[in-house]
Structure 1
Amino acid sequence: MANKIKLLLAEDEAALGQIVKESLETRDFNVILCENGEIAFHKYLSESPEVLVLDVMMPQKDGFTLAKEIRAVDDSIPIIFLTAKSQTADVVEGFSIGGNDYLKKPFSIEELIVRVHNLIDRSKTQKTSTTLEIGDYSFDFPKQLLKFKNEEAIQLTHREAHLLFHLIKNKNQVLDRSLILNKLWGTEDFFTARSMDVFISKLRKKLKNDERIQIINVRGYGYKLTV
């Protein structure tokens, strides 16, 4: 039997959310159902789902706001918006935030499943074929290999690789410290913050062959990678 797809569903309509959850779970999905955007964000950080299905209109934190926060630390996870809205402006906003697809209510479970599978297949293809470039370095994120020009590639640890990935994908922008701590360490207490500082120092040393590359500490907020 194929592994179940872990899907996070953020839907404040309890009856609809339960119906979608139960329907998906009969089709080899593991569904994390959240009743609002605030809960959904914390579950995203702790549960590491493969795909997000977010209702746009939710209490405490709407789907667009939630997607913005998630995209600050993860620009690859597939996001599908659910909405009763159909105005062009809302659709455009959803895609501009980083949504990958848009499903208007009411919708069929079969259509949702097809869209989820399409996005996951596309995401897996991109991950296996993508090498990121930063200055004179190339970074193979799936293999966690960092290579300088024609020298032999060095193996990064899991956290080094994920931290560098987020820095590169947010190049020349400040990467929020608390979001990364929660994403990679699951907490943002003093000891994990110090641990992150150590990993930043290690990355600086491994990127030192290109003097143009800088990882800048933006006091009180986070880090910024510049070239």
Structure 2
Amino acid sequence: MDKKYKLILVEDDSSLGYLLSEYLGMKNFNVVWAKTAEEAIVKTKSNAFDLAILDVMLPDMDGFELSQKIKGINPELPFLFLTARSLKIDVLKGFSLGAVDYLKKPIDEEELVVRINALLSRLSTSEEEEEHASEYYMGDYTLNMDNFELRYKNELIKLTGKEFDLLALLAKNQNQLCTHKEILTTIWDKNDYFNKKSLNVFVSHLRKHLAKDKRLSIVNVNRRGFMLRVEE
């Protein structure tokens, strides 16, 4: 595995939590273990994870409710459930809430690793296909990923490197929220106060660059992040 994926494991059973975190660490995953839902929420706010593994039965909140709170923090974070409950209704509920997989206890560590690798491989393939797009169209603007150019009709608009990277991320996800954390960790490599202030400055620059087409706007969404809104 080339990339070392970062996982959050939420499991209140100390023996199982320790076993899984150690085993996954041996398999080249970077694992952060949380024993409660509250601890998981705190860690999700301060870390960029690739996958969340959630126990359904937690002491302070069930895994179903926790998954929705995590989605509120990072809507793009995929998650799977671990549970001792085998009722079909629980499995269906998990998938209806957006789970990408569901494993029943007792957990087979090797099967868990196979499932995780399959999920992350599928998600990475999907992301790579999006990233390989050579151009993004936004109203009368075109963003060329090969030439690092923004054009309004036939007019070339000069962008700095950071401006281009930010607009490319927003364009790939147009009409969808890009959270502050996602933007800062992707472009600045660090989610902190000073980079967040810098982000606001770059957003102001891009708004000016895109002002020639009134169908485009960069919207601040409930202080959670930004969205490039493209009206038809």
Give the TM-score of the pair, scaled to structure 2. Answer: 0.70
1:157 aligns with 2:162: yes
CA-based RMSD = 3.9
Residue 36 of structure 1: CA displacement? 1.4
Relative distance call for 1:73 and 1:34 in structure 2 (3 A) is closer
Q: Residues 129 and 15 (structure 1 numbering): CA distance in 2 closer, same or farther, change over 3 Å?
A: same
1: CA distance between counterparts of 2:37 and 2:183?
16
Quick one: which amino acid aligns to residue 100 of structure 2?
A: N
Q: Is the 8 A contact 2:171 2:228 kept in 1?
A: no
2 CA distance for matches of 1:120 and 1:84? 24
For 1:71 and 1:134, locate their aligned partners in 2 and report how far apart those are by CA, in whole Å. Answer: 28
Q: Structure 1 regions of 5+ residues with no counterpart?
A: none
- Indicate the SS of the match to 2:7: strand
- Matched position secondary structure for 2:46: helix
1:56 aligned partner, one-letter code: V
Q: Which fold has the larger relative contact order, with Cα–Cα distance below 8 Å and residues 6 or more apart in sequence? A: 1
Partner SS state of residue 85, structure 1:
coil
Which residue is equivalent to 1:97?
A: 97
Distance 1:157 1:114 in 2: 37
* CA apart distance, 1:84: 2.1
Alignment of 1:177-192 (within 5 A): 180=180, 184=184, 186=191
Structure 1 position 27, deviation (Å): 2.4
Gaps of 5+ in 2: 185-189
Q: CA deviation at 1:31?
A: 1.6
Matched, 1:212 2:215: yes
Match of 2:174 in 1: 168
Tell me the CA shift for residue 129 of structure 1.
0.6
**1:9 deviation in Å?**
0.6
Residue in 2 that maps onto 1:59: 59
Whole-angstrom CA distance in 2 between matches of 1:165 and 1:61 = 37
Matches for 1:23-38 after TM superposition, within 5 Å: 23-38=23-38
1:41-68 deviations in Å (ceiling 9; x for gaps):
3323433232221112223444333332
How many residue pairs match? The answer is 217
SS in structure 1 at match of 2:106: coil
Q: Is the CA contact 2:8–2:32 (under 8 Å) kept in the aligned structure 1?
A: yes
Compared CA separation, residues 195 and 5, structure 1 to 2 (3 A):
closer
SS in 2 for 1:121: helix
**Equivalent-residue separation in structure 2 for 1:115 and 1:37 (angstroms):** 23
CA–CA separation in structure 2 for the residues paired with 1:42 and 1:86: 29
